[in-house]
C-alpha cells in the first residue's frame, strides 16, 4: 500500500489524527533510545503515526538505534515518517531517500524549493518503486518562514504575483505528493493551501502547542493531520496530554 492510503487507514483504525514528533532534546545515545521507547509506550494508543528527526538519527545512527525505534513503531501497526527535509541535488537526494526507506521509513519530507529536474524527481521515482511516500514542505511553522515560504514570486509567463507557498502547493498537487506540511501557526495559509489541494493531498500541520498554533484553527482551516512534538514529549504526563490533544482534534474534525 502506498503512503497516502496507509495514513488514511491508520487514522481510521486508531481514531487519531496526531502524528507524534519524537524530537527529544540532546542526550546520551543510550538514554535517547530508552527515552524514545518509553515515550512511545505511553503515547502510542493516542496517535496515528510517528515522525522522527535528525535529533535521533545523528546521535543514534540509522542502522543502530533508529531502526530499533522504527521496528517498535511498526510492531504497533503505525507508519513512520523521516523528517529529513531533502533539499540536495538529485544524486544525493536519491541516496538519502533510499537509505531512509531501506531503514524502514514509510515516508520522507522534502523541500520543493530544490525543484524537479535533478532535484526531487529521483526521490519521487524511488518512492514509487518502493511504495513509500514523499511529503512536501509548503509553509513551515517558525517565524522566519515568512522570508522564504511567505515571499512573493513574479511569474514570468503570466506576469502575475503569486505567494511562494501557493507555488509549492501547486507543485505538491502536480507532483502527486503524499502530503503537504503547513504550519499551524499560519491557519490562513492552511485554508488557502487546502483550497488548492482539496482532498488530493492531505495537509500535515506542525506547530500547535509549544510554537503557539491552535488545534481548532488548524483543523477548521483544513489540516488533516497534526504533528505534535514537545507539547507531548516534554509534558509531565505525555499519555494524558496525547489523549487530550487527540480528543480535542477529534472534536473539531467531527469524527
Q: What are the catalytic residues?
A: 85
**103: helix, strand or coil:** coil
Query: What residues make contact with its own copies under the rule CB under 8 A?
Result: 23, 25-26, 29, 53-55, 57-59, 61-64, 83, 85, 87-92, 95-96, 98-100, 111-121, 140-148, 151-154, 156, 161, 211
Choose among 187, 234, 219, 210: nearest CA to 16. Answer: 219
Nearer to its own copies, 11 or 140 (CB): 140
Nearer to its own copies, 103 or 239 (CB): 103
Nearer to its own copies, 46 or 101 (CB): 101
CB 224 within 8 A of CB 203: yes
The distance of closest approach from Cβ of residue 207 to its own copies in the complex, given in angstroms and rounded to an integer, is 9
Per-position DSSP letters for 180-213, written without gaps between them: EEE-TT-HHHHHHHHHHHTTTSPEEEE-BSTT-B
Distance CA 121, CA 51 (A): 23
Nearer to its own copies, 54 or 128 (CB): 54
Choose among 105, 102, 184, 100: nearest CA to 138. Answer: 184
Helix or strand holding residue 227 (H, E): strand 225-228
The distance of closest approach from Cβ of residue 157 to its own copies in the complex, given in angstroms and rounded to an integer, is 12
The distance of closest approach from Cβ of residue 139 to its own copies in the complex, given in angstroms and rounded to an integer, is 12
The distance of closest approach from Cβ of residue 93 to its own copies in the complex, given in angstroms and rounded to an integer, is 9
Per DSSP, what are the bridge partners of residue 19?
A: 49, 227
CB 241 within 8 A of CB 232: yes
Distance CA 95, CA 241 (A): 37
Nearer to its own copies, 144 or 254 (CB): 144
Amino acid at each position: 500500500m502506498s503512503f497516502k492510503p496507509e495514513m488514511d487507514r491508520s487514522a481510521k483504525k486508531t481514531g487519531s489524527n496526531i502524528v507524534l514528533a519524537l524530537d527529544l532534546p540532546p542526550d546520551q545515545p543510550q538514554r535517547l533510545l530508552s527515552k524514545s521507547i518509553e515515550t512511545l509506550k505511553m503515547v502510542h494508543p493516542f496517535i496515528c503515526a510517528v515522525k522522527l528527526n535528525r535529533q535521533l538519527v545523528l546521535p543514534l545512527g540509522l542502522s543502530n538505534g533508529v531502526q530499533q525505534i522504527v521496528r517498535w513503531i511498526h510492531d504497533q501497526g503505525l507508519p513512520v515518517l523521516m523528517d529529513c527535509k531533502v533539499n540536495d541535488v538529485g544524486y544525493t537526494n536519491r541516496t538519502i531517500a533510499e537509505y531512509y526507506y531501506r531503514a524502514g521509513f514509510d515516508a520522507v519530507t522534502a523541500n520543493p524549493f530544490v525543484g524537479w529536474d535533478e532535484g526531487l524527481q529521483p526521490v519521487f521515482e524511488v518512492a514509487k518503486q518502493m511504495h513509500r511516500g514523499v511529503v512536501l514542505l509548503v509553509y513551515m511553522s517558525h517565524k522566519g518562514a515568512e522570508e522564504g515560504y511567505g515571499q512573493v514570486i513574479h511569474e514570468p509567463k503570466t506576469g502575475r504575483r503569486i505567494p511562494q507557498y501557493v507555488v509549492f502547493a501547486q507543485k505538491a498537487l502536480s507532483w502527486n505528493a503524499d502530503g503537504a506540511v503547513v504550519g499551524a501557526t499560519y491557519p490562513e495559509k492552511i485554508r488557502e493551501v487546502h483550497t488548492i489541494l482539496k482532498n488530493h493531498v492531505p495537509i500535515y500541520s506542525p506547530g500547535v502547542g509549544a510554537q503557539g498554533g491552535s488545534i481548532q484553527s488548524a483543523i477548521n482551516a483544513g489540516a488533516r493531520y497534526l504533528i505534535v512534538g514537545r507539547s507531548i514529549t516534554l509534558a509531565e504526563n505525555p499519555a494524558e496530554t496525547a489523549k487530550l490533544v487527540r480528543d480535542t482534534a477529534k472534536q473539531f474534525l467531527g469524527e
